[in-house]
């Protein structure tokens, strides 16, 4: 080997790499979402499939278009737009008119992500911004929940049904007799996903499975989901202990609404969550408190999206104040 025939590469150390990549992480998230997604497809049929396809296509399209307009290199290869599309679809009612889904997707990608500079610079979770935008803009369409199961053959319109949280808040809370609620919404149905709701949020069990997969693949740190779910449980236990007629039991809080999807897939979004271990704990606990405040006392039956978005805003502050003690410095 002589010096002439080689052209070496030089760079700063380290010269080895774990092989982790943004695309790999996004792929893992998609794999983790797949069981819950397929369950949603099975439960709600073609509308859910079409909705997901629309959201993903709209997200990728919006990303490609906006990046081209902003003269940035086409960054859709990292797969983050696909993940946003899937997450957005999963937290929408399956019967939502498709044009609304497209609006949500465009808002999520362009307004919540690209105007801030693209992946890595967005302060808020894009999918949640899209969802909240739709919730506020189309309040009626966003609560048209389809009853689980295939649509009746004779009617093009699907049967609508209430979600457990909405039913509790509007009909059952504070009643003397609440057994009817628990008959209408057996816990086991909620856990395994035989309930009305956003089509990707219904199966707590499959989302939990996906979440554990993410932890096993080290794509998610355990602190955020554990503290999120833990705080929700704790507050629910206290309230339930105070007045079990007025407040829903902890298990119902855990397994209904968007909590599982939110805790495992939205609150753990890397860009919009803290980077320190203690920060993730604070973040998770904060999300839990806000979720319960909105669920129990707020105007909406569900508060996961608002809770996470509010905590997103606090992330820079949390990062700053939960800095680990540097090796060799005193504790102060």
Partner 1 sequence: MKTRIAPYRCAGGLHPVYHKSLTAGAAVTALPLPSIFAISLAQHLGAPARPLVKKNETVGRGQPLAEPAGFISAWIHAPTSGKIKAIDEQWTATGRRATVITLESDGEDRWADGYPLPPLPADADRKQQIDRVAAAGIAGMGGAGFPTHVKLSPPPGKTIDTLIINGAECEPYLTADHRVMIEDADRLRQGIDRIRRLLGTCAVRIAIEDNKPDAIKAMEQALQSLDGDVELIVLPSAYPQGAEKQLIYSVTGREVPSGGLPMDVGALVENVGTAIAVTDALDSGWPLTERVMTATGSALTQPANLRVRIGTLFETIIEHCGGARIPPVKVICGGPMMGTALPSIAAGVCKTTSGLLLMPADAVHLFESTPCIGCGRCVMYCPMRLMPCTLSEAGEAEDDELLEAFRVLDCIECGSCAYVCPAHRPMVQHMKNSKARIALMRRKRETSRQRES
Partner 2 sequence: MLPLIVPLAIITSTAVIGLTGLGCGLLLAMAARFLAVREDERIEALTECLPGINCGACGLAGCRDYARAIIEDDMPVNLCKPGGDDTLKALCGYLGIVAQAGVREVALVFCGGHNGVAKRQATYNGIADCVAAERIGGDGKACPFGCMGLGSCARVCPVNAIEITAQRLAIVHPELCIGCGACVKTCPRSLIAMVPESRTIHILCRSKDRGPVVRKYCEVGCIGCNRCVKAVDKKGITMDGALAVVDYAVPIEDVSVAETCPQSTIVVRDGRRTEGAS
Query: Per CB under 8 A, does 11 bind partner 2?
Result: yes
* Residue whose structure tokens are 């609560």: 143
Contact of residue 24 among partner 1, partner 2, none (CB under 5-8 Å per partner type): partner 1
Site for partner 2 in 163-222 (CB under 8 A): none
Residue from 130, 30, 17 nearest 80 by CA:
30
Alpha carbons 79 and 90: distance in angstroms, whole number:
17
Site for partner 1 in 122-151 (CB under 8 A): none
Query: Per CB under 8 A, does 17 bind partner 1?
Result: yes
Residue from 286, 269, 284 nearest 86 by CA:
269
Do residues 308 and 283 touch, judged by C-beta distance below 8 A?
A: no
Two structure tokens written together for 175: 């009643």
Site for partner 1 in 214-273 (CB under 8 A): 218, 221, 270-273
Query: Per CB under 8 A, does 332 bind partner 1?
Result: no
Min dist CB 63 to partner 2, Å, is 25
Contact of residue 120 among partner 1, partner 2, none (CB under 5-8 Å per partner type): partner 1
Residue choice 54, 195, 203, 276 for contact with partner 1 (CB under 8 A)? 276
Do residues 111 and 129 touch, judged by C-beta distance below 8 A?
A: yes
Q: How far is CA 198 from CA 64, 109, 162, 228, 309, in A?
A: 27, 20, 11, 20, 18
Alpha carbons 102 and 45: distance in angstroms, whole number:
20
Contact of residue 274 among partner 2, partner 1, none (CB under 5-8 Å per partner type): partner 1
Min dist CB 331 to partner 1, Å, is 11
Query: Per CB under 8 A, does 8 bind partner 2?
Result: yes
Min dist CB 287 to partner 1, Å, is 16
Query: Per CB under 8 A, does 326 bind partner 2?
Result: no
Query: Per CB under 8 A, does 275 bind partner 1?
Result: yes
Using the contact rule CB under 8 A, the part of the chain among 1-9, 47-55, 230-238, 297-305 near partner 2 is: 1-9
- Residues β-bridged to residue 160: 146
Q: Alpha helices of 175-222 — where are they, by DSSP H?
A: 179-184, 187-192, 204-216
The SS3 assignment for 160 reads strand
Comparison of 117 and 174: residue with beta carbon closer to partner 1? 117
The binding site for partner 2 (CB under 8 A) comprises 7-12
């Amino acid at each position: 080997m002589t010096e002439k025939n080689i052209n070496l590469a030089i760079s700063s150390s380290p010269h080895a790499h774990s092989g982790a990549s943004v695309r790999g992480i996004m792929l893992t998230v998609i794999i983790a979402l797949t069981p819950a997604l397929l369950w949603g497809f099975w439960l709600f049929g073609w509308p859910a499939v079409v909705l997901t396809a629309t959201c993903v296509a709209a997200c990728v399209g919006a990303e490609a278009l906006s990046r081209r307009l902003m003269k940035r290199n086409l960054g859709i290869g990292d797969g983050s737009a696909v993940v946003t599309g899937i997450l957005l679809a999963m937290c929408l009612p399956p019967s939502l008119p498709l044009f609304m889904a497209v609006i949500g997707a465009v808002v999520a990608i362009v307004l919540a992500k690209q105007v801030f500079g693209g992946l890595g610079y967005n302060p808020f979770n894009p999918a949640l911004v899209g969802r909240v935008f739709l919730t506020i803009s189309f309040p009626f369409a966003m609560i048209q929940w389809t009853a689980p199961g295939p649509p009746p053959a004779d009617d093009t319109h699907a049967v609508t049904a209430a979600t457990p949280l909405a039913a509790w808040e509007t009909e059952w809370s504070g009643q003397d007799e609440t057994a009817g609620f628990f008959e209408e919404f057996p816990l086991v149905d909620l856990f395994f996903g035989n309930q009305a709701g956003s089509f990707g949020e219904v199966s707590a069990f499959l989302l939990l499975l996906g979440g554990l997969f993410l932890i096993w693949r080290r794509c998610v740190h355990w602190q955020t989901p554990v503290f999120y779910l833990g705080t929700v449980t704790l507050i629910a236990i206290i309230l339930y202990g105070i007045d079990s007629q007025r407040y829903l039991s902890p298990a119902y809080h855990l397994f209904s609404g968007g909590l599982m999807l939110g805790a495992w897939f939205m609150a753990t979004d890397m860009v919009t969550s803290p980077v320190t271990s203690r920060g993730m704990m604070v973040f998770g606990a904060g999300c839990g408190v806000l979720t319960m405040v909105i669920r129990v006392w707020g105007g909406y039956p569900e508060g996961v999206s608002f809770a996470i978005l509010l905590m997103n805003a606090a992330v820079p502050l949390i990062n700053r104040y939960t800095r680990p003690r540097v090796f060799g410095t005193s504790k102060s």
